[in-house]
Structure 1
Amino acid sequence: MTTVEFSGIVDLPPPAQPEAPSIPISEPIITGNHRFFPPPPPRTIVKSSLPQFSSGWTVFQNLYFSNGTFFIVKDQDQGGFGEGYWPERRLITSTGLPGLAGNEAEREPGLKEMEVIDIEEAKRIWEDRVFDVGGFSVLVNDPTQFLRHYYHVAAELFFATERVITNFDPMPAPDGTINAPNPNRMIFIHCDEEGFSDGPGLDHFFLAAQFPSMTPLFQPSWERMAQQVEASRRVFRFPGALFVDRSAAFRGGPTGSTSRTPASPWQAGGGSFGTGGLGRNQFWYESARRRVLSFAGVSKDILDIGLRAMDPPLATGKPDRPVITYISRQRTSRKLREEDHESLVDALQEMCLRHNWEFQLMVGETMPRDEQLLWAARTTVMVGVHGNGLTHQLMMPPHPRSAILEMYRPPNFAKDYEWTAGVLGHAYYTIHNDTFWTPPKLADINYDDWNTDKVKSIPVYAPNVVEIIEQQLLGENQGPKHWQSWREDVGY
């Protein structure tokens, strides 16, 4: 008798399976920043491109960094710096030194700061040692010099970054909706966290409020990151990057003529002087304004004040009565004569009582930050001595009769808040005691008494201020005066 050995493994043919239906392969859904900066093939060298450029504000697709240098990878048709496709190197970057009179040569960039190389050369050097810093990065090449100052951070660096972002959207919406990239990180190449800290803490507040999904990396973190590709054949790639450089901005026409770094991306977005408050520019900043104010706890009802004032209204509800906010600087070194301050408060209160308007006396040193921004969000006309507090105009609603009244000791004048008011669509007035200036006629730039004791007793004639406000709110409404009487000799 034959014994059959059983191994425990039965090799039987598999049962017949029904044929699976064919499923069509659909294209992947591209969302978020990938719509604007499609991820390149991993570990593969691809050429760089230039989605948007204005002096000092350069948007790159596929910017490379290795051994302390940023690299642009070009194909044979693009050429080098200043040869057609790529702008001059000095209009993109600098050595990152502070902007001081007399050190212009030291700030001029060279091969160490940024270089253009052929794609074949890049493949030879890096091969497949390419590591992506995914998403959209903002690379700030500015020194600490201006980053301790609320105005320069909120009304220049973040203001212009917002303009670059909204330039991707042909028509920002009145409710703040935009179709634009959202920065994943902001890297401060030459500034540590202390260097980014202003006294009231508004720099860090705006960083979190305006860009809540953006991670900041300050100089020490950047240097540690850069060490990973130091003295090596590895390279970091930024699929999407906004490269910011203050010195480069000042070398270009728009900033060179206005002394305002946001002027470059403003013009790139169709903001030549005379277009503020019209078309795509009317609500370009509204998304940022609403993000910051929502972070501060401001209600939607207050956010919509400007929309209810439009003709026709763009939000439901009755129009709100005008709010006049006087920002007092009497506790600072640059302030009104005490008797003129008291006369101005009395005159503004009496005017508001007579017209059933609301008056707010803001003393920033005694108020929580969120409350200051709430008051600014309700303001129709803002009055103040030249100073940091006027940066709060960023939070004023896009109101058809909004205005900024800035008081100086005659003959002092600077364009900081005048230019900012213009691109926000606010009318603007310079107050020199009993006279005033408004575009297209501006006072001459003058800093003679800027740092002297004379600015501790600035004169102002209160009836002059009242007359301007009444004309602004009760006179014929022709829109922001800043944008109507443009002529070339104003100096923009």
Structure 2
Amino acid sequence: MPFLTRREFTLILFALSAFLIAYNYESSFSSLSTAALFPGANNSFSATQLLSVQDAFRDDGRRNTKYTDDLESEILGDWEIETRKQHDLGPYGLTENNQFSDWSNGDIPQTKLVGHVPGYTILENVLLANGALYLVHNLASQIFPKTEMILSTGIDVPGSNLPPVSQELKFLTRSQALDIIGYGAHRMANTTIICFDHPHSITNETFLAFYRAYSTLSPPVQTKSGPLPPSQIILPNVPRDSLSETAYYPSYQLSRIAFPFLNHIFSEDFTDFGKTERPIILDQVLLTDRVAAESGTQTFDFSADVKAPFSEEDEVAIDGKKSKKTKKKEYEIREATLIEPIDKRLPFASAFALPAPHNWVSPLSAGALILPPPQSLTTHTKKSKKARKAVTYVSTQARSIREPQLREADHENLLRELRKAGEANGFDVYVVELGSERIEGAVGTWRNLVSAAVRSSVMLGVHGDTLTYAPLLQPGSGATVIEFFPDGKFVNDHEFITRSLDIGYVAWRNTKKYTRGNLPPISPITRADSRLLSIDVHAVVNFVKEQLRK
């Protein structure tokens, strides 16, 4: 290793000397005391010693005014920090300390009846243990409806081929509940919907009906967003593996789009709940049962016996003030659909007897609008700043001949005339082909069906499941559903739902048009009826144009 040269040795010695002098600056130049300038700083510029002085530093690391000098002020400035207001909203969701409800003092929560119509019952503080539901109240017989109006356990519905549910529903006094349930339970927070329908009992209207019943829980304060979504939907009789084979599957897809954080619990998980030794308490639950609705609706008095939340008797007011003026000013109109005698044949009709905000379907429509728009049959040379109106024709021509469909000539003529009318009058024409995409410009997927419906004002198709998504139509005076029937036949499933949403409805049989007020009598379609339907294409298209002009 070579020795250091004299020059290198001198440089090292100089550097060490400079370091030692700088490091011991305060002790080497004690005569430069700064006590007068910095009282309380122990005669020191040292930031290390200032650490022991209270409030010597600001939040950003600079020294406070009485401990700084001109040089530091010149370099770092003397500006003040603008503190931002902190909004502590607290922990979100269900936290560890409130996942468990405890009533070790014996004060077990009583079950409260919030709302009820046959087959749709809203309750608070419901206990789930050993696979059974428990309603706790010392006066249960006076408070709650009959069991068969809530769940169809063990009942026999004449003329129905739907089986009752096997779920147990038990009523307990508070002392009995303490003996059976114990002194605590795991908590399932917020609102839960439990639909007890068997897979073959579920229809296209199942989800829409129980969501309509759930919407009655929306506070009657004016809002644009509609009711908040439920936390979870439980289907105790539907296995996850067979979900895609049930009529609930399209609704499941729609709910996932509209409510991304909504949780679905199927039969496998619900069975596990029954196997656990720890009971569960549900904050709020909507129990739905199609068979109970079907049987109970026939004898239920919808003009007097509907139990609804936020009713006049409850005297619910804003900010605790029971002022009628406040109600009229800040509360929106909550409407219930009038259940007419012919509507009682519909197992889902009772759900619409509960009052709900007029915009209760808006969260579903908003979710559907996220989907990209489908391809239109029409081409427009002129660009419009405003969104064009649209009509959706749901075709079943690609389905089996055993399914209802238009005569091929009428179908082709309807496509041609709708395209011509759309291009001449500046509206879009969406054709949704159920079963295939063999028609040019048609869309065959579920997503495009929903996307077309939510962008349209008019929807037309043969009777059956073609008009399931008519409730998503854009609201307005021109919103209309046109349903094609065979001669002599008519059912009011879609008419009832559209009536509840103030959507126009027309039943079309061959060349005859029936509007509300002169609808034909109920005559259900049977297998013996013709599956090929004929329509007056020119009359239908002219009516569509009239509606889109509104």
TM-score scaled by length of structure 1: 0.72
**Secondary structure of the residue that 2:410 maps to in structure 1?**
helix
Deviation at 1:159, TM superposition (A): 4.2
Deviations 1:287-341 (A, max 9, x none): 22212432x3569xxxxxxxxxxxxxxxxx9653331221111112211111111
**Secondary structure of the residue that 1:178 maps to in structure 2?**
coil
Q: Distance in 1 between matches of 2:226 and 2:92?
A: 14
**Secondary structure of the residue that 1:289 maps to in structure 2?**
helix
Specify which of 410, 425, 446 is matched with residue 340 of structure 1. Answer: 410
Specify which of 188, 196, 200 is matched with residue 141 of structure 1. Answer: 196
Deviations 1:55-83 (A, max 9, x none): 211111110122332111003xxx234x3
Matched, 1:63 2:139: no
In the alignment, what sits opposite 1:237?
Answer: 281
Alpha-carbon distance change, 193 to 57 in structure 1, aligned in 2, over 3 angstroms: same
Say whether the 8 Å CA contact 1:163–1:285 is kept in structure 2. Answer: no
In the alignment, what sits opposite 2:308?
Answer: none
1:167-246 equivalent positions in 2, closer than 5 A:
167-171=217-221, 173-174=223-224, 177-180=225-228, 182-198=229-245, 202-229=250-277, 234-246=278-290
Q: Distance in 1 between matches of 2:144 and 2:89?
A: 32
Paired-residue identity, %: 19
**Secondary structure of the residue that 1:65 maps to in structure 2?**
strand
In the alignment, what sits opposite 2:502?
Answer: 425
Q: Distance in 2 between matches of 1:107 and 1:208?
A: 28
Paired AA for residue 220 in structure 1: E
Alpha-carbon distance change, 102 to 395 in structure 1, aligned in 2, over 3 angstroms: closer
Higher mean alpha-carbon deviation, 399-408 vs 249-258, is at 249-258
In the alignment, what sits opposite 1:302?
Answer: none
Paired AA for residue 416 in structure 1: D
In the alignment, what sits opposite 2:114?
Answer: 51
Deviation at 1:189, TM superposition (A): 1.4
Q: Distance in 1 between matches of 2:272 and 2:500?
A: 39
**Secondary structure of the residue that 2:114 maps to in structure 1?**
strand
Paired AA for residue 351 in structure 2: P
**Secondary structure of the residue that 1:72 maps to in structure 2?**
strand
In the alignment, what sits opposite 2:174?
Answer: 119
In the alignment, what sits opposite 2:485?
Answer: 408
Say whether the 8 Å CA contact 1:325–1:379 is kept in structure 2. Answer: yes
In the alignment, what sits opposite 1:309?
Answer: none
Q: Distance in 2 between matches of 1:88 and 1:239?
A: 22
Specify which of 148, 164, 171 is matched with residue 107 of structure 1. Answer: 164
In the alignment, what sits opposite 2:547?
Answer: 472
**Secondary structure of the residue that 1:375 maps to in structure 2?**
helix
In the alignment, what sits opposite 1:327?
Answer: 394
Deviation at 1:214, TM superposition (A): 1.9
In the alignment, what sits opposite 1:434?
Answer: 511
Q: Distance in 2 between matches of 1:374 and 1:463?
A: 27
Alpha-carbon distance change, 29 to 444 in structure 1, aligned in 2, over 3 angstroms: farther
In the alignment, what sits opposite 1:42?
Answer: 102
In the alignment, what sits opposite 1:306?
Answer: none
Q: What is the aligned length?
A: 398
Point out where structure 1 has 5 or more consecutive residues left out of the alignment. Answer: 1-26, 271-279, 300-316, 478-492
Deviation at 1:442, TM superposition (A): 1.5
Q: Distance in 1 between matches of 2:546 and 2:516?
A: 15
Deviation at 1:39, TM superposition (A): 8.4
Matched, 1:156 2:213: no
Alpha-carbon distance change, 439 to 187 in structure 1, aligned in 2, over 3 angstroms: same
Say whether the 8 Å CA contact 1:160–1:266 is kept in structure 2. Answer: no
Q: Distance in 2 between matches of 1:113 and 1:39?
A: 25
In the alignment, what sits opposite 1:14?
Answer: none
Structure ID, larger Rg: 2
In the alignment, what sits opposite 1:132?
Answer: 187
Say whether the 8 Å CA contact 2:394–2:434 is kept in structure 1. Answer: yes
Alpha-carbon distance change, 298 to 364 in structure 1, aligned in 2, over 3 angstroms: same
Say whether the 8 Å CA contact 2:94–2:189 is kept in structure 1. Answer: no
Deviation at 1:215, TM superposition (A): 1.7
Point out where structure 2 has 5 or more consecutive residues left out of the alignment. Answer: 1-87, 303-338, 375-383, 438-443
* Aligned CA-pair RMSD: 3.4
**Secondary structure of the residue that 2:122 maps to in structure 1?**
strand
Alpha-carbon distance change, 98 to 125 in structure 1, aligned in 2, over 3 angstroms: closer
**Secondary structure of the residue that 1:186 maps to in structure 2?**
strand
Paired AA for residue 175 in structure 2: E
TM-score scaled by length of structure 2: 0.65
In the alignment, what sits opposite 1:304?
Answer: none
In the alignment, what sits opposite 1:354?
Answer: 424
Deviation at 1:116, TM superposition (A): 1.6
Matched, 1:462 2:537: yes
In the alignment, what sits opposite 1:385?
Answer: 462
Say whether the 8 Å CA contact 1:156–1:261 is kept in structure 2. Answer: no
Alpha-carbon distance change, 359 to 41 in structure 1, aligned in 2, over 3 angstroms: closer
Q: Distance in 2 between matches of 1:186 and 1:351?
A: 44
Alpha-carbon distance change, 166 to 209 in structure 1, aligned in 2, over 3 angstroms: farther
**Secondary structure of the residue that 1:190 maps to in structure 2?**
coil
Q: Distance in 1 between matches of 2:293 and 2:419?
A: 43
Alpha-carbon distance change, 390 to 99 in structure 1, aligned in 2, over 3 angstroms: farther
Higher mean alpha-carbon deviation, 421-430 vs 210-219, is at 210-219
Paired AA for residue 114 in structure 2: P
